[in-house]
């Protein structure tokens, strides 16, 4: 019988989630590949993966999926790794170069300009977002602002630019946490044992000794200090798909629908209420 195929994300913020899959015998029970968030979703859509850590918005567009409870990539306030970077204030921004690694972050940026940031000086609220490789100076050479996602955002020197943390701006606008991604799988393969595997892997990855290992490994990869790695994983990323996170997720889905940025939410297949984390 073939092993369940996992499509995982190669960003620092997902490293704790993959602890058991990368470092224990659990790896022998799954076939694992690493990519960027948007391609995780495409692997599920194409049938090339059975389980994926998908951007939240893609859950609305791939039929036959269910989320695995308990585990998410979310933020209760500042996230540090989803940034709008510019040399201009929001009212002077009209064109944005967008790293499209995560469609959720692109929709969030669009939504914040429509509902939260000041209108452009000509009165318009909709901005132009254009796909671009995540190279900050090249982005700002051609566009008014840059949307950076993941590890490249963590390297930004905030003292040189106007920097807006999009999860923080969402919190200001709604008072809710923001959910960027969660595990989703084909419904027919999810078992209680599988749910336990993913929950325990997250828990083991967030243990103090595990965080020490991850800080040593990832600091040189990302180009930040070990202290910054640890604080990012423990203070900025929130790893539970709890009721507050789900409230924020549903609010995002609904606002996106109202603005014509997202399709209607398939309530029958919505992410389930979280189970208690053991």
Q: In the predicted model, is pLDDT for residue 274 greater than 80?
A: no
pLDDT band at 266 (very low <50, low <70, confident <90, very high): low
Average pLDDT over residues 120-140: 94
Average pLDDT over residues 14-26: 95
Predicted confidence at residue 264, as pLDDT, reads 87
Q: Which of 140, 174, 208 is the last residue of a domain?
A: 174
Separation of alpha carbons 32 and 248, rounded Å: 30
- Give tens-digit pLDDT for 67-94: 999 999 999 999 999 999 999 999 999 9
Same domain membership, residue 184 and residue 157: no
Same domain membership, residue 143 and residue 86: yes
Average pLDDT over residues 99-128: 93
Separation of alpha carbons 262 and 134, rounded Å: 24
Same domain membership, residue 96 and residue 53: no
Burial 256-267 (b: 16+ CB within 10 A, else e): beeeebbeebee
Tokens 């040399």, residue? 87
Same domain membership, residue 155 and residue 92: yes
The strand pairing partners of 8, in sequence order, are 34
Range of the domain at 113: 82-174
**Mean pLDDT across the chain, nearest whole number?**
92
Dihedral angle sign, alpha carbons of residues 178, 66, 14, 9: negative
Dihedral angle sign, alpha carbons of residues 90, 93, 95, 98: negative
Separation of alpha carbons 26 and 8, rounded Å: 15
Does 264 or 246 have the greater pLDDT score?
246
Same domain membership, residue 167 and residue 98: yes
C-alpha 112 chain-centroid distance: 16
pLDDT band at 39 (very low <50, low <70, confident <90, very high): confident
Predicted confidence at residue 104, as pLDDT, reads 92
What burial class does residue 11 get, using C-beta atoms within 10 Å of its C-beta: 0-12 exposed, 13-18 middle, 19+ buried? buried
The region of weakest confidence among 129-138, 173-182, 266-275 is 266-275
Q: In the predicted model, is pLDDT for residue 276 greater than 60?
A: no
Residue 49 in any domain: the answer is yes
């Amino acid at each position: 019988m073939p092993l369940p195929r996992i499509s995982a994300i190669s960003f620092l913020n997902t490293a704790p989630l993959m602890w058991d899959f990368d470092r224990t015998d659990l790896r022998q029970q799954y076939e694992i590949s690493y990519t960027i968030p948007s391609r995780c979703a495409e692997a599920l859509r194409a049938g090339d993966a059975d389980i994926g850590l998908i951007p939240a918005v893609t859950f609305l567009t791939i039929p036959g999926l269910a989320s695995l409870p308990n585990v998410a990539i979310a933020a209760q306030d500042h996230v540090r790794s989803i940034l709008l970077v510019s040399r201009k204030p929001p009212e002077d921004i009209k064109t944005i170069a967008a790293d499209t690694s995560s469609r959720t972050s692109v929709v969030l940026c669009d939504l914040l300009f429509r509902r939260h940031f000041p209108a452009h000086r000509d009165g318009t609220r909709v901005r132009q977002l254009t796909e671009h490789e995540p190279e900050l100076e090249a982005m700002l050479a051609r566009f008014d602002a840059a949307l950076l996602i993941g590890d490249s955002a963590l390297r930004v020197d905030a003292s040189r630019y106007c920097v807006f943390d999009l999860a923080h701006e969402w919190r200001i606008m709604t008072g809710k946490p923001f959910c960027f991604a969660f595990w989703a799988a084909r419904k027919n393969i999810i078992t209680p044992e599988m749910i336990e595997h993913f929950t325990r892997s997250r828990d083991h990855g967030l243990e103090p000794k595990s965080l020490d290992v991850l800080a040593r490994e990832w600091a040189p990869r990302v180009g930040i200090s070990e202290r910054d790695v640890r604080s990012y994983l423990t203070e900025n990323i929130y790893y539970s798909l709890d009721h507050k996170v789900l409230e924020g997720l549903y609010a995002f889905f609904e606002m996106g629908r109202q603005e014509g940025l997202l399709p209607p939410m398939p309530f029958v297949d919505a992410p389930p209420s979280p189970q208690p984390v053991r």
